[in-house]
Amino acid sequence: MYMLYSHNLVSGHFHESIEKYSAAIDLNPTVASYWSNRSFAYIKTEAFGYALVDADKCIEIDPKFVKAYYRRASANFALGHYKESLRDFHRVAKAKPRDKDAQKKFKQCQTLVNKMLFEEAISSDREGAKSVAEGLDVDSMHVEDSYEGPRLVDGKITKEFVEELKTHFKSERRLHRKFVYQILLQVMTYFKAQSTLVDVKVPKDGKFTICGDIHGQYYDLLNIFELNGTPSETNPYLFNGDFVDRGSFSLEVILVLFSYKLLYPEHFYMARGNHESTNMNKMYGFDGEVKAKGSDIMVELFHEVFRTVPLAHCIAGKVLCVHGGLFSEDGVTLNDLRKVDRFREPPDSGLMCEMLWADPQILPGRAPSKRGVGLHFGPDVTDAFCKLNGLDYVVRSHEVKDNGYEIHHDGKCITVFSAPNYCDQMGNKGAFITVRGDDFTPKFTTFGSVPHPNVKPMAYASPFSMFGL
């Protein structure tokens, strides 16, 4: 039994592994390795809260089970609990003094924690100082004669520019930094003027498309446009968060999306996801990718832009779209969401946190989140929220689904995820939703992944995002 389940872990069938280890634990909850291996599977599915619980249980059964400390360290690091993580990696290193990998991981963690603490201290010292956006002198940036790529004319986005940009990126070429900065500064100005919750109108004879997570899978993004048509004034889109991280073409994804936002500001919408945040970008690849393809200053400017992106959209007063989900308290209204202060990094609790991190559950009520952040909310929570706010249903993203989507809570909560074969290993379909202005019954289109250049997902990620492998 143990060998069979271990094969599932190695081959990437993590959800199946969770089910089988859960069954094994029900039969014999005293086997430490079952808890440790399920903790590993939870880490791989980003259920870091559950991973911590299982690692703690394994340690309770067998305090000398070294892998459990490794699992707990990995989960804590992913949650930003760096000191707790370092403490457990130190335990692993002490328990295995001749294990070169254990020593390496401890030293890496120690170095990274010290670096992050230093960056946090520098950031605190800079509070109130001029932002990167305010300090940029884009006009003085010179575009070399040797540059052969798309150019903004008088700083303006045109349809021709976006089409050329998509082709340029498809050929793995870079956009000149001057044009990157111009796009970022313009889109930040636009986002700053928007409400935290944006109201979207759909003409009665019009179509509207909702996409979920893209996660840096640029070539799959292009495939969506092939399948459903390019964005335009008659083909509007909403991208519901997690544009970046994981996939190694995140810079290409976000610049194309921002360009479409500027080209069609009233017909192209973007909502912030939990991965549009500084901590996640440091871990899961976006920071590293932008530094490799751009610069440290460009990274900081992206962080400033992400802090301005709206958190939710209400389509025709009938459908609420938000990246994560619903709330830990009853009685939350759409007006409450409009008042949320989003111009910051996501907090660990409250409405903003829940909008970015929450997940639906089958059982009524609420429960602690498997992720260690946010919460799980049941069908009664969704029903009450929709009734209070006059909504037909809620669309959210945030979770991989085998078919690219899943219908929850008697149709009142829908998950859509648009990154097929997530991280080149999950085997899932992607999906998008279309609705019409005279019929808000959701129509689902599923699609598979398409080939991409030989650059692996997570190529730019922190080594600690790979812990548990």
Q: What is 135-161 written as a DSSP string?
A: H--GGGPPPPTT--S---BTTB--HHH
Range 213-231 average pLDDT: 98
Per-residue pLDDT, 46: 83
The mean pLDDT value for 79-91 works out to: 89
Q: Is the pLDDT of residue 380 over 80?
A: yes
Lowest mean pLDDT among 94-103, 146-155, 183-192, 378-387: 94-103
Whether 366 shows a pLDDT value over 60: the answer reads yes
pLDDT confidence of residue 117: 74
Distance CA 86, CA 387 (A): 46
Contact criterion met (CB below 8 Å) for 416 and 224: no
- Predicted confidence (pLDDT) per residue in 312-356, tens digit: 999 999 999 999 999 999 999 999 999 999 999 999 999 999 999
Q: How far apart are alpha carbons 29 and 36 in whole angstroms?
A: 12
Catalytic residue among 275, 313, 409, 452: 275
Q: What are phi and psi of 309, to 5 degrees?
A: -70, 135
> pLDDT at residue 251 above 90?
yes
Banded pLDDT at 5 (limits 50, 70, 90): very low
Maximum distance among all Cα pairs of the chain, rounded to whole angstroms: 70
The predicted structure's pLDDT at residue 127 = 58
Element (H, E) at 445: strand 439-447
**Domains detected in the chain:** 2-124 (1.25.40.10), 138-466 (3.60.21.10)
- In this prediction, residue 129 carries a pLDDT of 66
Active site residue 313: no
So what's the pLDDT on residue 466? 52
Among 37-41, 42-46, 49-53, 414-418, the least confident range: 42-46
Sequence letter at residue 431: A
Q: Tell me, what's the pLDDT at 126?
A: 56
Which residues in 397-438 belong to E strands, given as ranges? 405-408, 413-416, 430-436
Model confidence at 255, pLDDT cuts 50, 70, 90, reads: very high
pLDDT level of residue 200 (50, 70, 90 thresholds): very high
Residue 469: what pLDDT?
Answer: 36
Per-residue confidence band for 77, with pLDDT thresholds at 50, 70 and 90: confident
**Which is nearest to 144 in space by CA: 98, 176, 183?**
176
- Name 96's Cβ contacts closer than 8 Å, sequence gap at least 6: 66, 102, 103
pLDDT at position 111, please? 86
Report pLDDT for 123.
63
In this prediction, residues 433-452 reach a mean pLDDT of 97
145 CB burial (10 A radius; 0-12, 13-18, 19+): exposed
Q: Which two tokens stand for residue 327?
A: 């709330």
Which of 315, 375, 307, 317 is closest to 341 using CA atoms? 307
Check residue 82 and give its pLDDT.
Answer: 84
What percent of the chain is predicted at pLDDT more than 90? 83
